Amino acid sequence: MRIVVGRVGKPHGVRGEVTVEPRTDEPELRFAEGADLLTESGSLHIESVRFHQGTPLVAFRGVHDRTGAESLRNTLLYIESDLDEPSTDPDEFWDHELIGMTALDDSGAVRGRVHDVLHLPGQDLLAVTRDDGSEVLVPFVRAIVPSIDRAAGTLVVLDPGGLFDESEAAVADETGA
């Protein structure tokens, strides 16, 4: 099974380095010098890596300038893994376990479906697509996502106020709040 461990970001400098948005708890292991990472169109070999303010700056074999680095932007980076089994830790989830889950409110009504997991420096977000096609970004924290049922493919999303309510969001936009 392929597991996403990162996404190539913007070029860094003019010598082919790129930023990498980690999607792993072990960036030092996954983005180590000499490692090979899979992409949709082949593999990339890491020639060098350094960390700047917690962000991996990676140079891949054959990418020696900013143009080459720019061509890699938004490329997903994978590893092959035999981790078909979910984690035994009830608070740990692989992205592929969450994507596709149905988001419910605390009464069991459907709020939407998780279509992506975004790993930002401050916190992770669940991207939930609603029936009308709109997207809601939900902070992936216990206070807002208190329960996840792997077997049922559902998770409960509490609304702290205005997250899913369009009328509240519209009022906030009109008032500038």
What pLDDT is stored for residue 50 in this prediction? 94
Indicate the pTM of the whole model: 0.57
Q: What is the pLDDT of residues 9-31, one digit of tens each?
A: 999 999 999 999 988 777 888 89
Sign of the dihedral through C-alpha 127, 173, 170, 159: positive
Is 60 exceeded by the pLDDT of residue 173?
A: no
Is 50 exceeded by the pLDDT of residue 170?
A: no
Is 60 exceeded by the pLDDT of residue 168?
A: no
Q: Which amino acid is at 158?
A: L
Is 60 exceeded by the pLDDT of residue 83?
A: no
Residue range(s) of every CATH 2.30.30.240 domain in the chain: 95-172
Q: What is the pLDDT of residues 103-115, one digit of tens each?
A: 999 999 999 999 9
Locus of tokens 């099974």: 1
The hierarchical CATH code for the domain 95-172 is 2.30.30.240
Backbone angles phi, psi at 118, to 5 degrees: -105, 130
Q: Which CATH architecture describes the domain 2-80?
A: Beta Barrel (2.40)
Residue range(s) of every CATH 2.40.30.60 domain in the chain: 2-80
What pLDDT is stored for residue 177 in this prediction? 45
What pLDDT is stored for residue 174 in this prediction? 46
